[in-house]
Every structure is written in C-alpha cells, then in structure tokens.
C-alpha cells in the first residue's frame, strides 16, 4: 500500500511512506529513524528517500517538532514548536529520486529553557515529539520519545 505508515515501538524502528499527487506530478517520501527513544542531547538519524516526479525543484525539510497540549476547564490548547532542523538537506531536481541520511541534533536547551522529556501520563499537559519529513504538502510525522539523561548514583 503506497499510503502505508508503519511504526514499531518494540524494536524502536519506524518506516513511513507518503505519496501526494499534484496536477503536474507526484511527490513521495520514505523515511526511517534509527530508533524510537532518544536522550536529550543525542543525534537522531533519519534515512530518507525523496521522489520528485514533478517538473519543479523541491526543497525537502527534515526537522524535530515539539507538541504541547494543555488541558484546563474542559478546553484544550496545543502549541507547536520547531526544536531542531537539518540545514544541509539537498534540493531535489525535477523527475528524480534522492537518498539522503539526515542528522538532527536534539538540543538540551531551547531559548535558554531546558528541553522537556516526552510526557504523556499527565491529564493537564502532554509533551510529544515527532520528526517531520516534508516535500511541500507531502508530510510525514514520525513519532519519537525523548527522555532525560540523568545520571543516577548507586548507594
């Protein structure tokens, strides 16, 4: 199925594929992360295959996104923030296929504020992350889990 999206949390891998048709051609993305759980400060490796069957040069995007959902008084509010970006993703020529390995740093701080770990078990606030891989409107959001890298002393 060309619209398949497969995420396997047990072996910490992911594979996604997205196809988007336009009047003048088709864009397709295949992307796979090297694992599912990352420590803050680590590097996320994303294996990408970009397919551009249009007559236009396309600039792919690979970035780490944070989503914060606040719940209070029966209302929800969601904030979306770009955390990190791969600045060296090559452009995609018309009618071409390109394989690319993207590296995204997971920063320890964003605007001098420590980056939060993934938080999904609190009813008031949820913090989730995904690696966003995009060719214009064709977008994949590969969920990843970030955890703090606290050193624990044994007593």
pLDDT the model gives residue 9: 42
pLDDT the model gives residue 113: 85
Domains assigned to the chain: 5-147 (2.60.40.640)
Residues 70-120 have pLDDT tens digits of: 998 889 999 999 998 887 888 999 999 999 999 999 999 888 888 899 998
The closest of 62, 46, 68, 61 to 113, measured between CA atoms, is: 68
pLDDT the model gives residue 128: 94
Q: Output the CA–CA distances (angstroms, integers) from residue 130 to 51, 75, 133, in the order listed.
A: 21, 24, 9
pLDDT the model gives residue 110: 86
> Would the CA dihedral through 135, 141, 145, 148 be positive or negative?
positive
């Amino acid at each position: 199925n060309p619209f398949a999206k497969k995420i396997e949390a047990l072996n910490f891998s992911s594979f996604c594929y997205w196809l988007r048709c336009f009047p003048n051609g088709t864009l397709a993305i295949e992307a796979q992360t090297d694992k599912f759980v990352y420590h803050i400060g680590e590097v996320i490796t994303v294996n990408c295959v970009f397919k551009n069957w249009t007559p236009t040069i396309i600039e792919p995007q690979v970035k780490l996104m944070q989503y914060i959902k606040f719940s209070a008084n029966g209302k929800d509010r969601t904030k979306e923030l770009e955390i990190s970006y791969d600045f060296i993703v090559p452009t995609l020529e018309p009618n071409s296929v390109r394989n690319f390995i993207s590296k995204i740093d997971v920063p320890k701080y964003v605007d001098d504020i420590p980056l939060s770990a993934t938080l999904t078990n609190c009813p008031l606030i949820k913090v989730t992350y995904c690696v966003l891989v995009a060719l214009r409107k064709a977008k994949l959001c590969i969920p990843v889990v970030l955890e703090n890298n606290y050193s624990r002393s044994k007593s």
